Structure 1
Amino acid sequence: MTRGIRGATTVPANEENHMIANTKKLVEEMIEKNNIAAEDVSHVFISVTKDLNATFPAKSLREIPGWTYVPVMCMAEIEVPGSLPACIRIMMVVNTTEEQKGIQHVFHNDAIKLRPDLVKQRGE
């Protein structure tokens, strides 16, 4: 069965080092909380808000051992008035036997506002 695992974070500035570091930290926590092996990942989509263009956040996954061959694609998030700025969102599609309710989605920094219901459920 394939399942989607959501993650999101915000960065303090449109700078490559912030985008790479925050994305890597987020993905590493998604991996840890969901016991993900790179071989079980079908693909990863990463979207960024229009104010982030300093780098491709997908580059951060190449810094994770064993993730060289995981397909990753970056794209622009749609511009919705009043939406969260400086935000990087991740949709990781994995093969797993875990039930939908057992998937642990991860939100960092101001991105916690996107799904407070999921953060609250996990007691974070």
Structure 2
Amino acid sequence: MIRGIRGATTVTENIEDEIIEATEILLRQMIEQNKIEANMVASVFISVTEDITAAFPAKAIRLINGWTFVPVMCMREIPVPSALAKCIRVMMHVNTMIPQEEISHIYLGNAISLRPDLKVENKSL
């Protein structure tokens, strides 16, 4: 069964190194807290707000050992005027038998405000 695992984070500046680092931290926490292996992943969609243009955050997934062949796509979020600024969102499609209510969705930085109802205690970090 394919489950969607959500995550989001923010950056303070539109700088390549910060975008890649924030995305890598988010991805690693999503992977660790949900016990994901690359061969379980069907695809990963990464979206950014229109104020992030210095880098493709998908580059971060290539920094994770064994994730070379996972399909990743970047896209831009709808520019809603009240939207959270400098935000990177991830939707990972994972083959798993974990029940939906046991999935750990990860929200970091200012992105915690997007889904406070899904806030989980950091299980292993």
The TM-score normalised by the length of structure 2 is 0.96
Is the counterpart of residue 116 in structure 1 residue 102 in structure 2? no
The amino acid of 1:64's aligned partner reads I
Unaligned runs of 5+ in 2: none
Residue 81 of structure 1 and its aligned partner are, at CA, apart by 1.4
| CA distance, structure 1, for counterparts of residue 121 and residue 61 of structure 2 | 27
- CA deviation map 1:61-104 (0-9, x unaligned): 00000000000000000011111000000000000010000000
The TM-score normalised by the length of structure 1 is 0.97
Unaligned runs of 5+ in 1: none
| CA distance, structure 1, for counterparts of residue 109 and residue 11 of structure 2 | 8
Displaced runs of 4 or more, over 4 A: none
Classify the secondary structure of the residue corresponding to 1:89.
Answer: strand
The Cα RMSD (Å) is 0.7
Q: What does residue range 58-97 of structure 1 map to in structure 2 within 5 Å?
A: 58-97=58-97
Classify the secondary structure of the residue corresponding to 2:101.
Answer: helix
The amino acid of 1:88's aligned partner reads I
Question: Between the two proteins, what is the percent identity of the paired residues?
Answer: 56
